[in-house]
Amino acid sequence: MTQANNITTKKITIVIPCYNEEKTISKVINDFKKELPNVEIIVIDNNSNDNSVKLAKESNAIVMTEEKQGKGYVVQKMFDEIDSDIYIMVDGDDTYFADDVHKLLQPVFDGKIDMSVGTRLEQATKKTLRPLHQFGNRVILEIINIFFRCNFKDILSGYRVMNKKFVKNIPILANGFEVETVLTLQALEKNLSIKEIPIKYKERPEGSHSKLKSFRDGSKILYTILSILRDYRPMTFFPLLAGIMIFIGFIIGVVIIIEYYQTGFVSRLPSAVLSVSLIILGAITFITGLVVDTINRRFKELQQLNQRSK
């Protein structure tokens, strides 16, 4: 039973986050209408000051507004206020191909996975994705793959298909472009299934500009990864931090001890205090990790028991 033959058996909603996309928004809406006729299309405008809203309405899309600035807030609104069985999220900049929606939609429609992600990096070029963005993507990917023991290909893709179970079980606290990273990492934490599917990716049309700020948004994404490691992988985050503190404290302490054995004096008292302080802080940090891990485990047990009782 395919999505084409049974498109009416499930409510499917295409959600397009939009901020100043007057050059492309009509084309994106119309391209998806051709691929998925009669499917609900909602544009969530994020304070555009051009003709994006007017053009979206003229293309017969439903327009919602999110006044808090940031893509993360748009996704929060999507999760909180839109009720559907399947959600297709795609950027309004016309860099993704509408005809790829079928291969992203099919495994979610069939109930095989909770979220499919269109991966761009395999086919990305200097024209479609700036070298700095490609480098940043790959650095973030390596960090996530190492610490979360996974093998993702593209963590920042804005082309995703999610089922209702996914949307109703993922908390979204991010407010910017780091929201895509949060979606994937939260899915890992909630044991929701993810499938990455290679897709085509194209250059932005002339006159359309990326809203992504490489260093600002890259730093936010890295901070988000550290926050999720701290909150959901405490026995990775805290022992690593503790190890760094203890190692630095030990190196400083070795120099002090060698000096004491050679001269019988400790001339670098501040260094000695710093060494001991770092080692103590490292020990406290490690214990903090144990406490947070215990709390997380008990919370997961309560959450599982609560789900069984429903």
Judgement on whether residues 208 and 224 belong to the same structural domain of the protein: yes
In a shared domain, residues 91 and 157? yes
Q: Read off the pLDDT of each residue in 23-40 and give the average, rounded to a whole number.
A: 96
Are residues 276 and 252 part of one domain? Answer: yes
Select the more confidently predicted residue: 259 or 53.
Answer: 53
pLDDT in tens, 285-305: 999 999 998 998 887 777 666
- The answer on 96 and 74 residing in a single domain is yes
Q: Please indicate, yes or no, whether residues 200 and 245 belong to a single structural domain of this protein.
A: no
pLDDT in tens, 39-64: 999 999 999 999 999 999 999 999 99
Question: Which pLDDT does position 41 carry in this prediction?
Answer: 98
Q: Is 268 left (phi over 0), alpha (psi -120 to 50) or beta?
A: beta
Asked whether residue 79 falls in the same domain as residue 190, the answer is yes
What pLDDT shows up at residue 212?
Answer: 57
- Amino acid at position 271, single letter: S
- Biggest CA-to-CA distance, the chain: 86
Instruction: Residue 48: give its domain's CATH number.
Output: 3.90.550.10
User: 86-89 and 12-18 as β-strands: parallel, antiparallel, unpaired?
Assistant: parallel
* Digit-coded pLDDT (tens) for 83-94: 999 999 999 999
**pLDDT-based confidence at 14, cuts 50/70/90?**
very high
225 and 248 in a common domain: no
Residue 261: is its pLDDT beyond 50? yes
| Number of domains the chain contains | 2
Percentage of the chain beyond pLDDT 90 is: 56
pTM of the model: 0.79
Q: Which domain holds residue 256?
A: 234-309
Q: Which of 166, 201, 231 is the endpoint of a domain?
A: 231
Give yes or no for residue 270 having a pLDDT over 50.
yes
For residue 98, pLDDT over 50 is answered with yes
Q: Are residues 157 and 102 in the same domain?
A: yes
At residue 5, the pLDDT reads 47
**Confidence (pLDDT) at 175:** 83
Q: Report the distance separating Cα 181 and Cα 179, nearest Å.
A: 5
Based on the fold, state whether residues 161 and 274 are members of the same structural domain.
Answer: no
CA distance 284 to 278: 10
Q: Mark 233-254 as b/e (b = at least 16 C-beta within 10 Å).
A: bbebbbbbbbeebbeebeebbe
